[in-house]
Chain A
Amino acid sequence: MSEQISVEIFDHLVDLAALELNAKQADYLRRQLNNQLASVRELEAVPLDEDIPISLHGVPYEVENSSAPREDEWIPCLDSKAILAQAPQVEDQYIVVPDIPHTTLK
Chain B
Amino acid sequence: MTEYEAVIGLETHIQLNTKTKIFCSCKADSWADEPNTNICPVCCGLPGVLPVLNKAVVEKAVVLANAMHSEIQPLSYFDRKNYFYPDLPKGYQISQFDQSLGKGGYLDLPIPAANSFDKKAYIRRVSIWKLHIEEDAGKTKNAGNRRFIDFNRCGVPLVEMVTGPDLRTADEAAQYLIRLRQLLRWLGISEADMEKAHLRCDANVSIRVKGETVLNPKTEIKNVNSIEAVRDAIATEIDRQVREVEAGHRIEAWTLEWDEDTGSLKKMRSKETEADYRYFREPDLLPIRMTEEWKAKILAGFPELPLQRRARFVEQYGLPEYDADILTGERRLSDYYEEAVKDYGGDPKKVSNWLMNDVLRMINEQGLNPSEMKLTPQALASLLKLVDGGTINISTGKSLLQKVQDTGRTPEAIVSEEGLGKVSDDSAIRTVCEEVLTESPNEVASYKAGKVTLIGWFVGQVMKKMRGKADAAMARSILEELLK
Contact = CB atoms under 8 A, between A and B. Distances in A.
Touch between A and B in complex, CB under 8 Å?
A: yes
B121 to A, nearest CB: 38
B370 to A, nearest CB: 26
A46 to B, nearest CB: 20
B266 A71 contact: no
Contacts of A1: none
Interface string B128-163: 000000000000011111111111000000000000
A94 B55 contact: no
B281 A104 contact: no
B269 A102 contact: yes
A69 B55 contact: yes
Interface residues of B, number: 50
A72 B19 contact: yes
A63 interface: yes
Contacts of A69: 52-55, 58, 288
Interface in B280-304: 281, 283, 286-289
A99 B141 CA distance: 10
Contact of B39 (A61, A70, A80, A106): A80
Contact of B40 (A18, A80, A95, A96): A80
Contact of A61 (B34, B145, B281, B286): B286
Most buried by B among A18, A56, A98: A56
Contacts of B74: none
Interface in A47-73: 56-57, 61, 63, 66-73
Given A74-B27, A77-B26, A79-B40, A98 B267 contact: no
Interface in A66-93: 66-77, 79-80, 83-84, 91-93
Given A18-B84, A63-B289, A72-B54, A83 B18 contact: no
A92 B35 contact: yes
Interface residues of A, number: 37
Contact of B267 (A70, A91, A106): A106
B378 interface: no
B36 interface: yes
Interface string B1-27: 000000000000000001110001111
Contacts of A66: 286, 289
A106 B276 CA distance: 27
A97 interface: yes
B188 interface: no
Interface string A16-28: 1010000000000
B371 interface: no
B67 interface: no
Contacts of B289: 63, 66
A77 B43 CA distance: 11
Interface residue SS majority, chain A: loop
A96 B58 contact: no
A43 interface: no
A45 interface: no
Contacts of A91: 148
B482 interface: no
Contacts of B55: 68-72
B326 interface: no
A97 B41 CA distance: 20
A93 B20 CA distance: 22
Contact of B20 (A56, A74, A84, A103): A74
29 contacts: A57-B283, A61-B286, A61-B287, A66-B286, A69-B52, A71-B56, A72-B20, A72-B54, A72-B56, A73-B20, A73-B25, A74-B19, A77-B41, A83-B40, A83-B44, A92-B35, A94-B35, A94-B148, A95-B86, A96-B147, A97-B86, A97-B146, A99-B145, A104-B257, A104-B267, A105-B266, A105-B267, A106-B265, A106-B266
Interface of B: 18-20, 24-27, 34-41, 44, 46, 52-58, 84, 86, 141-151, 257, 265-269, 276, 281, 283, 286-289
Given A75-B25, A79-B40, 5 more contacts: A72-B20, A74-B20, A93-B35, A103-B267, A104-B266
Interface of A: 16, 18, 56-57, 61, 63, 66-77, 79-80, 83-84, 91-100, 102-106
The 8 lowest CB-CB distance pairs between A and B, nearest first, are A77-B40, A105-B267, A72-B56, A94-B148, A75-B25, A69-B55, A95-B149, A69-B53
